[in-house]
Amino acid sequence: MAEEFDAVFVGAGHNALAAAIHLGSRGWRVGVFEKNETAGGACRTEEATLPGFRHDLYATNLGLFAGSPFFAEHGAALKPHGLDLVPAEDCFASPTPSGRWFGVSKDIEKTAARAAALSPQDGERWRAMFAAFPAEAPHLFGLLGAPMSWRSLARLGWAAWRAKGARGSLDLARLLASSPREFLEREFEAPEVRAALGAWGMHLDFAPDIAGGALFPYLEGMADQANGMVIGKGGADTIVRAMVARIEELGGRVDTGAEVTAIRHRFGKADGIRLADGTEVTARRAVVAGVAPGALVDRLLAGTSGNASFDAGARKFRHGPGAMMVHLAMSALPDWSAGEELKRFLYVHLAPDLDMMAIAYAQAMAGLLPEKPLIVVGQQTAVDPSRAPEGQHTLWVQVRMVPGTIRGDAAGTIAATDWADAGEAYADRVLDIIETYAPGTKAKILGRYVETPADLERRNPNLVGGDSIAGSHHLSQNFLFRPFPGWARYRTPVDKLYLIGASTWPGGGLGAGSGYMLAKELAGR
């Protein structure tokens, strides 16, 4: 006889774990099945370089998680299971080759003074924007935390209209529609301020000139100014280990090394799953898949959901360009030419202006290895020394953007077009760029571990082509259109089968949004 659960989850990403916790707290018996040997999806921490150096392989920023509605309800229950968060007061900075730089710290006086040193007008504008943020935040975070339905959007729109009036509502709509460049050039004078904020658009597939990308630089800048950043003590997987333990405490199960090969569905209704070893698992009330849309149809449903429009949408779901990770064990942090103060920042973005970001994005989209990609240097041990042996450090280096499939090299120096051959050579280019901002960095490297876009997809098939956010967030595939029109509420044509994860609304990041919203709906509260 097949084992029975109320809800069965395909994949143990953080959205699935969040949904399982919420349903478990409402009395549902849940089973989570993950093909990898560890849970967490793109939230994974390993000693990838040398013993004692703990690296967040992919996601590292836990600010969305700590500020999420899921955490507000369930965070207290996770802490007895070892959840431990570390605040970062100095959040992100962007230096330029000239040595000028801008950075955001939780101390408004520090941030405003840096902006004013670049442009007096920008210092005043930063203060004014931050002062207005408390009135804007409820509408924006309300939108990002709401299920995508016309009723929900109408309610949010009416609330914004009542609070802000016609002009204020139009300003909000303009922000949502603007590209990063439009917004940043409208608001700030200094190229350094624009670059520091514009880099956050690139984290979510928004190059400077792509409509709809202004929201993310704005929110990251203002939220970090208000709250600082948060990472996990010892690694981002502190949330995963605590969530798994909480599920088990509630009577549920998380099985790793358990690959789901099929979703059972009969007469248009899902009733369970089949594992690679032939085991059958029954779901009485729901099957929840945390997979990419194409994989749901072509792999788990054997080619059809029974709805041709849904199947076509799943297969045409658009993934963004790839990312590449370079993890370094270090004898010391980089000596940034722009100043010793940069050693305190959690993130240092290496992209001196919006034009460079636009060129790098265009080259990656054309299949070329960018000559000068955006490089995100994470200095986690600056705020959490527990991740490395005493006096030593880790560097988390994310390269945005790179092509999933290589057609050539924009710099003309790497001939390989397979990531297995090009990966190490391109990592050398990345380190050479870091060296120009922090001479002597390469001499401090004790160990190195590279993951190319091909490696990211091999480890996590949801990251198609190394797309670390599991699907482009452009306006045509966001909000009501995520993952595709008509299917933004986690349902599928198969009754009792649901789709969650970064490919669904509200998208990438560790905010537990899709899992929590679906679980609330299934449980009725």
Burial class (CB in 10 A: 0-12, 13-18, 19+), 80: exposed
Q: What is the dihedral of CA 105, 111, 114, 116, to 10 degrees?
A: 170
pLDDT value of position 168: 87
Cα 356 to its chain centre, rounded Å, is 22
CB 373 within 8 A of CB 352: no
Residue with tokens 């980089």: 334
Contacts 24+ apart (CB under 8 A), 438-443: 438/334, 438/335, 438/336, 438/337, 439/335, 439/337, 440/334, 440/335, 441/334, 441/335
Give how far Cα 185 sits from Cα of 202, 207, 209, 216, Å. 17, 14, 11, 15
Q: What is the pLDDT of residue 283?
A: 98
Global pTM value? 0.96
Q: What is the DSSP letter of 299?
A: I
Query: For position 1, what pLDDT does the model report?
Result: 54
For the chain, the domains span: 3-45+62-86+235-318+469-523, 102-227, 321-459
Architecture of domain 3-45+62-86+235-318+469-523 in CATH? 3-Layer(bba) Sandwich (3.50)
- Residue 414: phi and psi, rounded to 5, are -110, 115
* For residue 483, cis peptide bond before it (omega within 30 degrees of 0): yes
> What is the predicted pLDDT for the residue at 2?
75
Closest CA to 477 of 353, 368, 317: 317
Q: pLDDT below 70 — which residues of the chain?
A: 1
Q: Which amino acid is at 311?
A: D
* SS3 label, residue 91: strand
For residue 119, the number of C-alpha atoms closer than 13 Å in the C-beta half-sphere is 15
3-state percent breakdown (helix, strand, coil) of the chain, nearest 5: 45, 20, 35
- Name 302's Cβ contacts closer than 8 Å, sequence gap at least 6: 262
On the question of a cis peptide bond just before residue 191, with omega within 30 degrees of 0, the verdict is: no
What are the tens digits of pLDDT across the range 449-501? 999 999 999 999 999 999 999 999 999 999 999 999 999 999 999 999 999 99
- What token pair was written down for 511? 């905010």
Residue 369 in contact with residue 334, Cβ under 8 Å?
no
3-state secondary structure of 146: coil
Residue 34's DSSP bridge partners are 256
